[in-house]
């Protein structure tokens, strides 16, 4: 076991940071930067399609709500490895944590772009201003705390690179506490991201207004997305960095993911039926259409990943993971935008500039990930793919 682990000790990948792909990512990130400068001088209305009927657009619904859920790989893996003591997944922790670190940090930073009166953002942490009954307060404080905790959790990788052995040893002794915090905090804010919708009451279509169950469905899908994202990223980085596929470790992971998925689908169906919302799923509306697309994204993997054989096939795993990510994306976009009905006469679809900012953020995230894994010990050292 020890030998096996040693073989997987993380090492910098090395290699050039300048490739046509990273250049493209850089250009996309720069375009987003220019749009954001414009936004800060001329207001949100100058670049977004936001209006009083849809005061939240993709910068909240995607960048924060979906973005942070996509960044749950670190959370799900920590839960599995350190809480449920599944040591065999240990090599997956660091790369997952790095992706989470970037996903969350950017989700946190992107909130500033969306805040109208951003210079006051510190009020949310300040006694006298902070309003503890607000779900938004819980989300903001908890996400901020988690970002700090993740940087601490990840710092051994930096300390290792910088040769700070002493600091690293001291930190390692306390690491268990930060790991516990790193499991608690996402459990809190990923559920609260769902709770944000509770106060919208009837303004949310019955297919997504699950009331007191919102925190449960959002948390369960966040964990599910964490597993899916780890499979997705492991497959992509194996292909992208021309490394051996990590399928042997992903197959048992997919089994855990499968049963989490089954629990979610059962809960979701029971919830929709019990609240008497099922009828609205058969109405001729866009909401009903997108509900079925969302459900299909969860139900198809429930069928395709059912057998151990299927879970051994990298292609099957990858397609299942992508579908689940799409399902988690749709659950959130449907709840925050498609199913948000604030009265007649309002409509929203993101502007090109809004989309370019979101795309630029994702590009920046991927770029930073590539730069870090090439220069810091993140990915498990493994032999290049042999064919």
Partner 1 sequence: MDRRTFFKASLAGGTALATGAASCPAQARDTHPMPAEAVGLLFDSILCVGCKACVAACKEANGMPLEFSTADQYWDTPLDISGKTLNVIKAYRDGKMEAKDREENGFAFIKKSCMHCVDPSCVSACPVSAMQKDPKNGIVTYDKDACIGCRYCVAACPFGVPRFTYDKAVPQISKCQLCVHRHKDGKYAACAEVCPTGATLYGKVSVLREEAKRRLAMKPGEKTQFPRGHLRAAEEKALQGAPEGRGEMRRQGWTDDGNQNYPGVAGQYLQHIYGEKEFGGTQMLMLSGVPFQKLGYPDLPPRSDAATSETLQHTLYGGLIAPIAVLGALTFVARRNVKPEDGEGGQHG
At its nearest, how many Å lie between partner 1 and the CB of residue 144?
12
14 vs 343 by CB, closer to partner 1: 343
Report residue 67: phi and psi, to 5°.
-55, -45
| Longest CA span, the chain | 65
Q: Alpha-carbon distance 363 to 16, whole Å?
A: 18
- What residues from 202 to 221 belong to the interface with partner 1 (CB under 8 A)? 202-203, 211-212, 215
165 vs 242 by CB, closer to partner 1: 165
**Can residue 246 be called a binding residue for partner 1 (CB under 8 A)?**
no
- What residues from 339 to 368 belong to the interface with partner 1 (CB under 8 A)? 340, 342-343
Region from 97-105, 164-172, 220-228, 252-260 binding partner 1, contact rule CB under 8 A: 164-172
At its nearest, how many Å lie between partner 1 and the CB of residue 304?
29
**Can residue 152 be called a binding residue for partner 1 (CB under 8 A)?**
no
**Can residue 183 be called a binding residue for partner 1 (CB under 8 A)?**
yes
At its nearest, how many Å lie between partner 1 and the CB of residue 18?
27
Q: Which long-range contacts (CB under 8 A, 24 or more apart) does 326-329 make?
A: 326/297, 327/221, 327/294, 327/295, 327/297, 327/298, 328/66, 328/69, 328/70, 328/221, 328/222, 328/224, 328/225, 328/228, 329/62, 329/66, 329/70
167 vs 316 by CB, closer to partner 1: 167
With a CB cutoff of 8 Å and minimum separation 6, the contacts of 165 are 159
Q: Alpha-carbon distance 72 to 67, whole Å?
A: 9
136 vs 371 by CB, closer to partner 1: 136
**Can residue 241 be called a binding residue for partner 1 (CB under 8 A)?**
no
19 vs 203 by CB, closer to partner 1: 203
Which of 14, 20, 163, 201 forms a contact with partner 1 (CB under 8 A)?
201
**Can residue 199 be called a binding residue for partner 1 (CB under 8 A)?**
yes
93 vs 323 by CB, closer to partner 1: 93
Which of 12, 22, 26, 56 forms a contact with partner 1 (CB under 8 A)?
56
Which of 50, 99, 224, 253 forms a contact with partner 1 (CB under 8 A)?
50
Region from 171-179, 239-247, 288-296, 326-334 binding partner 1, contact rule CB under 8 A: 171-179
Nearest to 331 by CA among 36, 38, 62: 62
At its nearest, how many Å lie between partner 1 and the CB of residue 267?
16
**Can residue 180 be called a binding residue for partner 1 (CB under 8 A)?**
yes
In the 8-state DSSP scheme, what is residue 386?
-
- For 206, counting Cβ atoms within 10 Å of its Cβ (0-12 exposed, 13-18 middle, 19+ buried), the class is middle
Beta carbons of 114 and 88 less than 8 angstroms apart? no
Q: Alpha-carbon distance 318 to 65, whole Å?
A: 23
**Can residue 259 be called a binding residue for partner 1 (CB under 8 A)?**
no
Region from 37-45, 239-247, 303-311, 362-370 binding partner 1, contact rule CB under 8 A: 37-45
**Can residue 135 be called a binding residue for partner 1 (CB under 8 A)?**
yes
Q: What residues are paired with 10 via a beta bridge?
A: 380
At its nearest, how many Å lie between partner 1 and the CB of residue 169?
8
**Can residue 81 be called a binding residue for partner 1 (CB under 8 A)?**
yes
Which of 77, 124, 261, 324 forms a contact with partner 1 (CB under 8 A)?
124
58 vs 325 by CB, closer to partner 1: 58
Beta carbons of 86 and 32 less than 8 angstroms apart? no
The count of residues interacting with partner 1 (CB under 8 A) is 87
SS3 47: coil
Concatenated DSSP letters for 83-141?
IS--GGGHHHHHHHHHHHHHHHHHHHHHHHHH-TTGGGGGGGGSTTT--TT-HHHHHHH
Give residue for tokens 């290699």.
Answer: 15
60 vs 207 by CB, closer to partner 1: 60
Which of 12, 22, 31, 137 forms a contact with partner 1 (CB under 8 A)?
137
């Amino acid at each position: 076991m020890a030998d096996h682990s040693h073989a997987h000790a993380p090492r910098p990948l090395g290699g050039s940071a300048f490739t046509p792909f990273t250049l493209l990512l850089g250009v996309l990130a720069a375009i987003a930067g220019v749009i954001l400068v414009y936004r800060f001088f001329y207001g949100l209305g100058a670049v977004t399609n936001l209006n009083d009927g849809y005061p939240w657009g993709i910068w909240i619904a995607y960048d924060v709500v979906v973005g942070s859920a996509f960044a749950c790989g670190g959370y799900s893996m920590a839960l599995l490895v350190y809480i449920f003591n599944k040591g065999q997944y240990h090599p997956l922790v660091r790369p997952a944590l790095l992706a989470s670190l970037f996903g969350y940090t950017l989700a946190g930073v992107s909130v500033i772009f969306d805040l109208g009166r951003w210079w006051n953002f510190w009020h949310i942490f300040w006694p006298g201003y902070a309003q503890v009954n607000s779900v938004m307060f819980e989300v903001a404080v908890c996400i901020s705390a988690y970002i700090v905790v993740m940087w601490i959790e990840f710092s051994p990788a930096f300390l290792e690179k910088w040769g700070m052995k002493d600091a690293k040893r001291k930190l390692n002794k306390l690491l268990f506490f930060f790991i516990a915090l790193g499991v608690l905090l996402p459990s809190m804010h990923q559920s609260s991201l769902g709770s944000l919708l509770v106060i919208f009451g009837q303004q949310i279509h019955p297919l997504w207004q699950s009331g007191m169950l919102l925190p449960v469905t959002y948390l369960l899908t966040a964990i599910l997305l964490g597993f899916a994202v780890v499979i997705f990223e492991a497959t992509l980085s194996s292909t992208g960095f021309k490394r051996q596929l990590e399928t042997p470790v992903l197959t048992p992971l997919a089994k855990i993911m499968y049963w989490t998925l089954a629990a979610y689908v059962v809960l979701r169906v029971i919830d929709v039926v019990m609240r008497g919302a099922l009828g609205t799923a058969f109405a001729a509306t866009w909401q009903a259409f997108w509900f079925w697309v969302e459900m299909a994204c969860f139900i198809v993997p429930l069928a395709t990943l059912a057998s151990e054989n299927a879970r051994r096939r990298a292609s099957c795993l990858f397609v299942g993971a992508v579908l689940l990510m799409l399902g988690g994306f749709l659950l959130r976009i449907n709840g925050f935008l498609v199913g948000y009905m604030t009265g007649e006469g309002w409509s929203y679809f993101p502007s090109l500039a809004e989309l370019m900012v979101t795309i630029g953020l994702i590009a920046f995230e991927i770029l930073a990930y590539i730069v870090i894994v090439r220069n810091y010990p993140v990915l498990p050292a493994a032999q290049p793919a042999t064919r």
